[in-house]
Amino acid sequence: MSNPALKTSDPSSPDDPQQHDDAAGYYVPGEPIADTKAPAGPVEDKWDTRQFEARIVNPANRRKVSVIMVGTGLAGGSAAATLGEAGYQVKTFCYQDSPRRAHSIAAQGGINAAKNYKGDGDSVHRLFYDTIKGGDYRSRETNVFRLAQVSTNIIDQCVAQGVPFAREYGGLLDNRSFGGVQVSRTFYARGQTGQQLLLGAYQALERQIGAGTVQQYSRHEMVELVVVDGRARGVIVRDMVTGELETHLADVVVLASGGYGNVFFLSTNAMGCNVTATWRAHRKGAYMANPCYTQIHPTCIPVSGAHQSKLTLMSESLRNDGRIWVPKDAKDADKDPREIAEDDRDYYLERIYPSFGNLVPRDIASRQAKNMCDEGRGVGPEVEGVRRGVYLDFSEAIDRLGRPAIESKYGNLFDMYARITGEDPYEVPMRIYPAVHYVMGGLWVDYDLQSSIPGLFVAGEANFSDHGANRLGASALMQGLADGYFVLPNTIRDYLADSPFEKIDESHPAVVEAREAAEARIAHFLSNKGTRSVDSYHRELGNIMWEYCGMERTEDGLKKAIDLIRTLKDDFWRNVKVLGSGDGVNQSLEKAGRVADFFELGELMCIDALNRRESCGGHFRGESQTEDGEALRHDDQYAYVAAWEWAGEGEKPVLHKEDLVYEAVKMAARSYK
């Protein structure tokens, strides 16, 4: 019997995907692309083969090679430390006042690794399979298998650095389970895993700063990429304290600048997170892959009013012991949850997905929470006439394990929730609702993590490579450290074996062009005689993105969004008001540049979503769902990476497709029931 969630094309049907190109007229078809760096042979041998085949730079020559690293979170910090340790001359740039302030610090729940410490059947292949399945068969097989292989090394590296992972009674490292899997493979440090891992990478980075192999530039924001003769050779950065534009040149540039979830304005990202570094590279020729793939996280503290500028994430690890429910009857939505009888509660994830229950992947948990609230069974205070919240209840776990056990596992998370909401989660169930979190899209890279611009490498969340249409929980930290400690240092050397490259200076025409472009952009914002603040435009753009390119998308909605974004963007360039000068700290000026890039990104996200008339992972098209409302893929039409090329100001983007080929797994309908 054929599976309804797979190849469903019927040429006689008016709803057949073959009869549709919803994005026709919005883009230009381009030549197909492929990853040419992954070696031939069995998937389990590819990484060893590539490491051997990649050329080597001898230690004496490394001292002559210069590397620019943009971003110093887990991916950038670990990569810079490793490259510095190897002897390369590295410059790092971050817009924060310290690498310790990178958004990686906000990751709470844990980091995956296929150690099988619990003896419950885990393996490298199972982690690989869970990641491919969790991404709804829209990630690249070769990269994901490498990620699973390298995961085991990450834990050893971090333990050696002194990262205080949780331990069992006997002293062995503890594990807990996370959504989308049926084994315990997630290593954690209470609810502070990202912070502890970042401190480990930061210490390694500081060691190299002390040794003189790394120069650290904090409070510096990249505003332009320098491309010389088709190769990335440097960056233009703005000193955010003095306002001065600086030119930094090198043999190779690495972007590890994180994700772009703040295009939605309200998200779990730090307010400073932006797309500018990668978008400046995109405009210079780096393909942007799968930009519409956005992760909606199911365990966020609900919106409390229109005054908010960001949302607060509660760790997904809470779903290990917390049970998610809503009232069966909408009339009970405003009751004290402790007064709602057990028989009147709908533990809907346990009901719909009995095999995984509360541990279904993030996209499924998020969509079902939205469905419950759309039915009128949401809980919590009404915001704009709607209750957007479901309960995450620990009463059963507290009765079973005792309050001290829950405090030891989740105490800081419970304290954070209590401080933000004024409610005691030990006594009253938490309220959660989905929110924009991670992005699976990013700059296209090959197996070596090199973009379509030679000499421009991309690591961590800034690239697209590992998570497909939905990221499994506890995999962000894994990818960041895998890229930084183990992958990039081994692959970048093949490119650098041809270095040092021809020396260039600030008088080179390509450098002058990049600097003048940055100066002109800043001058426009400071001289524009508008009347609206940057934040007002950002909030309006975010509302458009959430409404039409958020948890559910439709053809009509996406086309409407594109029109709205274009109109708002035109108004932004004419009517934005930036106070102050460019000669010092000016947060309004910083935001203006970032929001300008968000407008262009938001439009491309909608075009990408319009082009993909299927539901997969976190990308749910209303036109493509099964009879019971689950995501409906169309593998015969959309089993590809959508890599978009910038064609110029006002021109339609060019779509290049990379076919996804699976040899070690077979594409199947994703079921967690």
Positions marked active-site: 362
- Spell out the residues 6+ positions from residue 375 whose beta carbon is closer than 8 angstroms to its own: 330
The span from the CA of 314 to the CA of 430, in Å, is 10
Query: In this structure, what DSSP letter does residue 99 have?
Result: G
Torsion of CA 259, 262, 266, 269, to 10 degrees: 40
The answer to whether residues 665 and 138 touch, using CB atoms and an 8 Å cutoff, is no
What are the structure tokens assigned to 528, written together?
């524009």
Phi then psi for residue 384, to 5 deg, are: 55, 40
Element (DSSP H or E) covering residue 544: helix 534-549
- Spell out the residues 6+ positions from residue 586 whose beta carbon is closer than 8 angstroms to its own: 243, 578, 580
Question: Residues 464-497, buried b or exposed e (16+ Cβ, 10 A)?
Answer: bbbbbbbbbbbbbbbbbbbbbbbbbbbbbbbbbe
Among the listed residues 458, 363, 471, the one whose alpha carbon sits nearest the alpha carbon of residue 144: 471
Among the listed residues 219, 142, 162, the one whose alpha carbon sits nearest the alpha carbon of residue 586: 219
Element (DSSP H or E) covering residue 248: strand 245-249
- DSSP readout, 5-33? TS----TTSTT-GGG--TTBTTBEE----
Question: Given CA atoms 394, 398, 404, 405 in this order, what sign does their dihedral have?
Answer: negative
3-class state of residue 488 by DSSP: helix
The span from the CA of 104 to the CA of 483, in Å, is 14
Rounded to the nearest angstrom, the gap between the alpha carbon of residue 230 and the centroid of all alpha carbons in its chain is 28
- Spell out the residues 6+ positions from residue 131 whose beta carbon is closer than 8 angstroms to its own: 139, 144, 147, 148, 466, 467, 468, 472, 475
The answer to whether residues 660 and 637 touch, using CB atoms and an 8 Å cutoff, is no
The span from the CA of 382 to the CA of 62, in Å, is 60
3-class state of residue 111 by DSSP: strand
Cis peptide leading into residue 354 (ω within 30°): no
What are the structure tokens assigned to 113, written together?
């690794």
The span from the CA of 439 to the CA of 435, in Å, is 12
Q: ∠ CA 39-41-46 to the nearest 5 degrees? A: 50
